[in-house]
Amino acid sequence: MYNAYIVGKNIYLRHPTEEDVLGKWHEWFSDDETTKYIGDRYWPNSKEAQYDFYKSSIGGRSRLLLSIIDNATEKHIGTCSLSNISWLHRYCDMALVIGEKDFRSGSYAFECCSLLLKTAFLRLNMKTVRGGCVCVNKYTEKLLKVLRFETVGIYKEMFWVDGKYQDYVISMIKQEDWLGRNGYTPKPK
Amino acid sequence: MKEKVIQVVSRVMGVQVAELDEDSSPDTIPAWDSLKHMNLVLALEEDLGIQFSDTQIIEMSSIGLILEILKEIKQ
């Protein structure tokens, strides 16, 4: 386990490394299936562009970019972030991509979200985490529901997916609700 | 409780009750994919009137483990 930031049962999250850039990271964001539900990933990615993105992740405090590492194999399987962090209003946006297709079954994505929320609410003291998904992305829709994200709005026909404009569902979770459900404080009424 | 859980798993996974036991898991039931797992969590919470923590959801990788977690919750 190298430079672990937060550790879960099956995965851990750490700061990205140059070795991550030299691996398959950039290929995930060129792949049509992987980027299908991601808003602005319609252009081919490159190792150079990925390196620039990696460099931009160093030093800033408005985006926490983390690599997802499989505990058993130390394989870099995806990337995740808390972005648009507002230190004044204490909110941020949660996002993740499991790039390695062999790791899309099981609970890797759920566990990653769980670790991100734990980081946001316990370590960074965020009050609100925002999420969302294209309405046809059924897995993420259910994932957010299980995590107790509350739907707060819909951007009608916002995203072009499979030849149709699809709605984008906006959701959020509050710190107090997450703390209560995960046994850190008495459950909210 | 075991019968109830098996009924919920059967309904969500589309598998006959007779095919399920405590060892049933994503490794033994091909239909038990990541989307169905989320559906299963929601169905168990609704049918049993409980709420799982994130850690419990990550742990529930077989019917036997679901039953152990339910035992913990009831205590």
Contact A183 B58 (CB under 8 A): no
Residue B72 has pLDDT above 70, yes or no: yes
Interface mutation target, options B29, B32, B38, chain A, most CBs of A under 10 Å: B38
Contact A9 B42 (CB under 8 A): no
For residue A128, the surrounding DSSP H or E stretch is: strand A128-134
Rounded CA-CA distance A156/A26 in Å is: 31
* CB < 8 Å to A140, chain B: none
**Cα angle A134, A52, A37; round to 5:** 10
Residue A116 has pLDDT above 90, yes or no: yes
Q: Which residues, other chains included, contact A113 with Cβ-Cβ below 8 Å and sequence gap of 6+?
A: A94, A96, A143, A147
Contact A145 B37 (CB under 8 A): no
Residue B48 has pLDDT above 90, yes or no: yes
Mean pLDDT of A154-174: 95
Interface mutation target, options A105, A116, A117, A122, chain B, most CBs of B under 10 Å: A105
pTM over 0.95: no
Q: What pLDDT is stored for residue B8 in this prediction?
A: 97
Residue B2 has pLDDT above 70, yes or no: yes
Number of H helices, E strands in chain B: 4, 0
> Mean pLDDT across chain A, nearest whole number?
93
Nearest C-alpha in B relative to A110: B58
Q: What pLDDT is stored for residue A187 in this prediction?
A: 53
Shortest Cα distance, chain A CAs vs residue B10, angstroms = 18
B72 touches chain A (CB under 8 A): no
Read off the pLDDT of residues A35-81 as tens digits, 9 standing for 90 and up.
889 877 788 999 999 999 999 888 889 999 999 999 999 999 999 99
ipTM of the modeled complex: 0.91
Name the CA radius of gyration of chain A, rounded.
16
Structure-model confidence comparison of residues A188 and A17, the more confident one? A17
- Contact assessment for residue B26 and residue B61, using Cβ atoms and an 8 Å cutoff: yes
